Structure 1
Amino acid sequence: MGTKSEPVLIRDAVADDIPAMVELLAQLFSIEQDFVPDAEKQGRGLALLLVQPGAQVLVAEREGGVVGMISVQTLISTAEGGAVGLVEDLVVGEGHRGEGIGGRLLRGMEARASEMGLSRLQLLADSDNAPALDFYTRRGWRRTSLLALRRNS
């Protein structure tokens, strides 16, 4: 487990990071109502994200290990008349929470989105995950009137 005195590097994810990111997603999905941890599926999805044009994945690295991650995917918004980003999978490992790593990942992705020319970022969060909702609100994110719906094909 790291301490606040150990430096954290925010960098682009690479294929070698996938196993650690799968572990992080297992932690995230274990507290989300709509998702179930599945290492094979999450590994496959991460591999696709890493090569997808318009997608970005950042990781937080401490002492050579990945301790956090965030991703964004580009979408086209007719309301905005251009590209926007869907932020997904912001997660910091259990032993590293409360140290500002999540905020650094989010700021890093916000800066990256600006560089990409994205006019808006949006994300989904569990409606009953008060700590996550508070985290985003404190950082200037606001709730919308939109409600997420889903249908498997």
Structure 2
Amino acid sequence: MITIRTAKPSDIPQLVALLKVLFSIEADFAFDQNKQGHGLTLLLKSEKDCILVAQLQSDNRILGMCTVQTLLSTAEGGAVGLLEDLIVAADFRRQGIAEKLIAGAVDWAEVKGLKRLQLLADKNNRSALDFYEKQGWQSTQLVCLRKR
């Protein structure tokens, strides 16, 4: 049985391991255990953000995760959420875990009164893009840019 719950500090080592897998897929990011651990710690301390985990009850292993980070949107006139870090361990994919994590994120966002959820996905990760489309996410005309 798999349970979706909010993360706790003792989950961080397993979450960092999942982020290592995710960042090996995404060309824009490089894995750094210290940075990812610090980022997770900051999210756990935040009262406006959320980390959800999928936990296997038989051995308490964390099989997947996602985060929701709150932003303010002038377009929406209020708080919106950025869904990030959705990853499921390779041996447990295609079993509905990612769908459960997204549903948990949607529920959390509704409780918090967020007006919209959005996400960024690697444009070359066709399986992820197809998955999000099947979950009802829609592409926009926006392009993500960044500056370091």
TM-score (norm 2): 0.97
**Gapped runs of 5+ residues in structure 2?**
none
Aligned to 1:12: 6
Could you say which residue in structure 2 is the equivalent of 1:65? 61
| Number of the residue aligned with 2:28 | 34
**d(CA) in 2 for partners of 1:145 and 1:131?**
20
Q: Which residue of 2 aligns with 1:96?
A: 92
Instruction: Identify the residue that residue 130 of structure 2 maps to in structure 1.
Output: 134
Amino acid at match of 2:12: I
In structure 2, the residue corresponding to 1:30 is in which secondary structure?
Answer: helix
Count, aligned residues: 146
Match of 1:146 among 127, 142, 147: 142
Q: Which runs of 5 or more structure 1 residues have no equivalent in the other structure?
A: 1-6
| CA displacement at 1:53 relative to structure 2 | 2.2
Q: Does 1:23 align with 2:17?
A: yes
**Sequence identity, in percent?**
51
Q: 1:48 is paired with a residue of what secondary structure?
A: helix
Alpha-carbon distance in structure 2 between the residues aligned to 1:135 and 1:115: 25
Name 2:77's counterpart in structure 1. Answer: 81
Residue equivalent to 2:49: 55
**TM-score scaled by length of structure 1:** 0.94
Corresponding residue for residue 3 of structure 1:
none
1:29-60 C-alpha deviation (Å, 9 max, x unpaired): 00101001111110010000001121011000
Deviation string 1:64-92 (CA, Å, 9 cap, x unpaired) is 11110010011110000000001100000
Q: Which runs of 4+ in 1 moved over 2 A?
A: none
**Distance (Å, rounded) in 2 between the aligned partners of 1:39 and 1:80:** 35
Which amino acid counterpart does residue 24 of structure 2 have in structure 1? S
Residue of structure 2 in register with 1:114 after alignment: 110
